[in-house]
C-alpha cells in the first residue's frame, strides 16, 4: 500500500533530479553572494563577476560542489534516477562554467 503525504525529496525520479540539479547551484550562488559580497549591489556584482575569471572559478566550483554533495546523497540512498538527473545537470553546469571562462 502506498503511503500518502510522503516528502517529495524521498522520490526517485529523473525529473526531481533535474530540478534539484538546476536549483542547488542557484541557491549556493545566492548564499555565497549574501555571505561574502552583499556589500555590492547585485547588478554591480554581476558586472564584476562576468569580468573576473577568478570569481567565475570560485563560484563555479562551489556551485558544482553543492551538486556533487547532493548527487552523493542520492547515490548512497539508492535513488539512482534522481542521482542520474543531478549528474546530467552537473555536467551541463560544468561545461557552462568552462565556456564562460573561455569566452571571458
pLDDT tens for each residue of the chain, 104 residues long: 455 545 667 788 999 999 999 999 999 999 999 999 989 898 999 898 888 889 999 999 999 999 999 999 999 999 999 999 999 999 999 999 999 888 87
Instruction: Please tell me the total number of residues recorded for the chain in this structure.
Output: 104
Residue 2 lies in a domain: no
> Is residue 64, in this structure, part of any structural domain at all?
yes
The answer to whether residue 24 sits within a structural domain is: yes
CA 42 to chain centre: 19
Q: Is residue 6 part of a domain?
A: no
Say if 68 falls within a structural domain: yes
pTM above 0.85, yes or no: no
8 backbone dihedrals φ, ψ, rounded to 5°: -65, -25
Write out the residue range of the structural domain in which residue 18 sits. Answer: 12-103
Q: What's the structural domain count of the chain?
A: 1
Q: Which of 20, 25, 92, 18 is nearest to 63 (CA)?
A: 25
Q: Is residue 62 part of a domain?
A: yes
Residue 17 lies in a domain: yes
Tell me, yes or no, whether 20 lies in a domain: yes
Q: What is the pLDDT of residue 28?
A: 94
Q: Is residue 93 a contact partner of residue 64, using CB atoms and an 8 Å limit?
A: yes
DSSP secondary structure string, 28-92? HHHHHHHHHSTTS-HHHHHHHHHH-HHHHHHHHHHHHHHHHHHHHHHHHTT-HHHHHHHHHHHHH
Question: Grid cell 547532493 — which residue?
Answer: 70
What's the CA angle centered on 91, arms 100 and 34, to 5 degrees?
60
Amino acid at each position: 500500500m502506498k503511503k500518502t503525504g510522503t516528502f517529495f525529496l524521498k522520490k526517485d525520479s529523473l525529473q526531481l533530479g533535474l530540478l534539484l540539479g538546476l536549483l542547488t547551484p542557484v541557491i549556493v550562488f545566492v548564499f555565497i553572494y549574501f555571505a561574502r559580497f552583499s556589500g555590492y549591489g547585485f547588478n554591480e556584482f554581476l558586472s564584476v563577476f562576468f569580468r573576473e575569471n577568478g570569481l567565475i572559478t570560485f563560484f563555479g566550483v562551489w556551485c558544482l560542489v553543492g551538486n556533487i554533495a547532493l548527487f552523493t546523497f542520492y547515490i548512497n540512498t539508492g535513488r539512482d534516477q534522481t542521482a542520474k538527473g543531478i549528474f546530467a545537470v552537473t555536467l551541463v553546469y560544468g561545461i557552462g562554467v568552462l565556456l564562460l571562462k573561455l569566452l571571458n
